[in-house]
A and B are shown apart, each in its own frame.
Chain A
Amino acid sequence: MEDFLELIVSVGEAGSIYALVALAYLLVLRPSGIINFAVGEWAMMGGFAAVSLITWLKLPYIIGLPLSIMCIGAIAWVTGLVVVNPLIKRNASPMSKVLVLLGMLIVYRETSASLYGYDPLFVPMPFGFGRVEVGPFAGSSQSFFIISVVAVVFLLAWYFFERTIWGKAFEGVAINRQAAMLMGINLKIVGMSSFISAGMIAGLAGVLQAPLTSAHFLMGLPLAIKGFTALVIGGVGRVEGALLGGFLLALLEKLTIRYIDIPSGYALGVPLLLMIVFLLFRPNGIFQNKEAK
C-alpha cells in the first residue's frame, strides 16, 4: 500500500509537468490553431534560465523562478512578433506556421547549446533533498513543490477561462476569429498574450523539471512529445483536459514500469503507443474546430 501511495506522488510529480506542457500547447493552439512543437525547447530554456539565475547568480528561488519564467515569456513574445505574426498577416497556411516553429526549435536548441554547452547542468532544489509526508502520502519535497505549484497554476488557468472576460475572449477567438474581431476583441492582444503565457507556462515546466534531471540542451523534444500525448489523451480542448491527460499519461507510464516486467527502455514506448491508440480511436475533439491541414 505504501508502495502505491508513493507511486501516486511520483505520478503527481511527472503528471504535473506533462500537464504544464500540455497547457502551453493549448494556450497557443486554441486562439490561433497553431501547434507549437517548440514548447519543449521553451521548457529547456526555462531550465537553463534557472541555471543562470539560481545556480550561477545564486538568486533565491522566490526571485529566480519568476524571473526565469518571465525570460521565457519574453522570448516567446519576440518569437511571436518576429516569426509568427508576419505569417498571420499574409494569411499563410497553418502548415507554414507549424514548420516555422519547427525551425525555431532548432534555433532555440542550438543557441542554448552554444551558450550553455552540451553537458547537463545542475539546478538546486528549492527545498533541498528532504522527504516530506503529507497525510498518507510520502515523497520528496520537490515532488510536493511541483504538485502544489502546478495545482495553483491550473486553478488560476481555470479561473481565467471560466470566470473572466479575458478568458471568454480567448475562447471566442478560438471558436470564430472573424466574429471575435467584429465583436471588438483585439486579435493581436489575444495572440500575443497567448504566446507570452504559453512561454511562461512552458518555462515553468522546465524550471520545475531541471532540479530532477538537470538542464540539458536535448531535454526539450521528449517533453514536447509527452506533453502532446497528454493533450491528446486529455481529449477535451479545455484546461481540465491538459491536467487530466498529464496525470493519466504519468500514471500509465509509472504503472507499466513498476508492475509489468519488461526492460525499462520499453517504457519509453508507452506514451507513443498511447498516442497512436488515442489518435485512432479517441481523437475526441480537441481539434474539433481546428482541423488544420
Chain B
Amino acid sequence: MQQRLLWTIIIVFLASLCFVLGGYWADIYRKMLLVITLCVGFNFLFGVAGQIAFSHIAFYGIGAYSVVIFSSILGWPLPLAIFGAIALCGVIAIIVAFPASRLEGFYLALATLAFAQLFNVVIVQGGDVTGGPQGLSGFGQQDYFGFSFTDQSYTLVIVVLFLGTLLIITRLENSWFGRACRAVHDSPEAAEAMGVDVLFIKVAAFTITSVLAGVAGVAYAFIDNYVNPLVFSLEPMFQLLFMIVLGGIGRTSGAIIGAIVIFLAPEIFEEWVGRHYILGVGVLVVLSILLLPKGVVELFDRLFKTDKLMRKGQK
C-alpha cells in the first residue's frame, strides 16, 4: 500500500509540473524527462544486461529522424509515421543485435560505437532527405488526431512516455528476464547450463532497450519540431554513460539521479562558469569512480539502511 501511495504522489507531482512550469522551464522539463527515459533504458542494457552499447543514442536518432521523414517528406499520416518509425527501430535493432551478441565487452563497445558514428555520417550526408548538418525543422502540425496539442498537453505525453518506460524497465528487471540478463552478464556458461537461452536474452535486451530509445526519439522530434545530427552524436552518448556511472551502474534509481544531476548541471552552473561546467562534469565522473564506485545512489542506500536499523531497534 505504501508503494502505491508513493507512486501516486510521484505521478501527480510529475503531471502537475506540466501545468505549473512555463516556457523555458517547461522545455527543460520535457528534455530532461526524455534524457532520464534514455538513461533508464541504457542503464538496463549496460548495467543489468552488461552490454556496453554505444548504439543507444543512434536509436534515439533513428526514431526521431524516421518519424520526421515518414510524416513530412513521405507525407504519411502521423499515426502511421509513428508506427513506422518504431517498427524501423525494431527491425534495425534486431538486425544489429544478432552480430552484436557474438561480441563481448570492449569489442561490443567499439562495434556499437562505429555503428553510432556511421548513423551520424549517414544523416550528415543525407542531403535533402535528412537535412544534412543543419537537420530538419518546421515540420510540426498544429492538429494531431484532430486534437490540438498545446505545450502543456505535450509535456503530459512525455510524462506518460517516461512513466511507461520506467514501468517496463522496472517490471522486466524484477522478473525472470532481469535475473536472466544478470546471469548472462555474470557468467554466460553457468546461465546457459541453468536453462537460460543466452542468445535470446542478449537479443531481447538489446532490441527492447533500443526500441524504447527509438520511441523517446519519436517524442523528441516534436518538442521543438527540430532534429539535427548533434543531438544524436557521441557526445550525448558519453553523457548518458556518465549519468549512470555517477548515479550507480545497474540501479534504475541511480540512473534517474545521475541523469537529473548531469542534465541540470548546465542550467545551474552555466551562468557562473560558462562552458566550464563540462569540465566539472568530467571531474565529477572521475571522482565518483574513485571515491563512490557504486554511485551516488549508494549514499542514499546508506541513509535508508540506517533508517531501517533504527526502526528495528525501536521494535
Contact = CB atoms under 8 A, between A and B. Distances in A.
- A and B: direct contact (Cβ < 8 Å)? yes
Bin the interface of chain A by size.
Answer: 35 or more
A35 B52 CA distance: 14
A86 interface: yes
Contacts of A149: none
Contacts, number: 109
Given A263-B125, A265-B121, A273-B114, A291 B104 contact: yes
| Chain A contact residues, majority secondary structure | helix
Contacts of A98: 106
Contacts of B110: 228, 232, 275, 279
Contacts of A102: 238, 241-242, 285
B72 interface: no
B125 A266 contact: yes
Contacts of B111: 275-276, 279-280
B105 interface: yes
B279 A106 contact: yes
A283 B118 contact: no
Nearest to B188: A293
B113 A106 contact: no
Interface in B68-104: 99, 102-104
Interface string B117-132: 1100110110000000
Interface stretch (B142-150, B201-209, B286-294): B286-294
B106 A110 contact: no
Given A96-B293, A279-B103, A107 B121 contact: no
B114 A99 contact: no
Nearest to B124: A265
A96 B121 contact: no
Contacts of A94: 105
A94 B106 CA distance: 10
B276 A103 contact: no
Contact of B115 (A83, A268, A276): A276
B121 A268 contact: yes
Nearest to A92: B293
Contacts of A105: 238, 282
Given A92-B293, A280-B99, A272 B50 contact: no
Contacts of B281: 106
Interface in A70-101: 83, 86-87, 92, 94-96, 98-100
B289 A100 contact: yes
A180 interface: no
A145 B52 CA distance: 39
18 contacts: A99-B245, A99-B285, A103-B282, A103-B285, A110-B276, A221-B234, A225-B113, A229-B114, A265-B125, A266-B121, A269-B121, A269-B122, A272-B117, A272-B121, A276-B115, A283-B103, A287-B107, A293-B105
Given A103-B285, A275-B111, 16 more contacts: A35-B106, A100-B290, A102-B241, A104-B286, A106-B285, A225-B113, A228-B110, A269-B117, A269-B121, A272-B117, A276-B114, A279-B110, A287-B107, A292-B105, A292-B106, A293-B105
Interface of A: 35, 83, 86-87, 92, 94-96, 98-100, 102-107, 109-111, 113-114, 221, 225, 228-229, 232, 263, 265-266, 268-269, 272-273, 275-276, 279-280, 283, 287, 291-293
Interface of B: 50, 52, 99, 102-107, 110-111, 113-115, 117-118, 121-122, 124-125, 234, 238, 241-242, 245, 275-276, 278-279, 281-283, 285-286, 289-290, 293
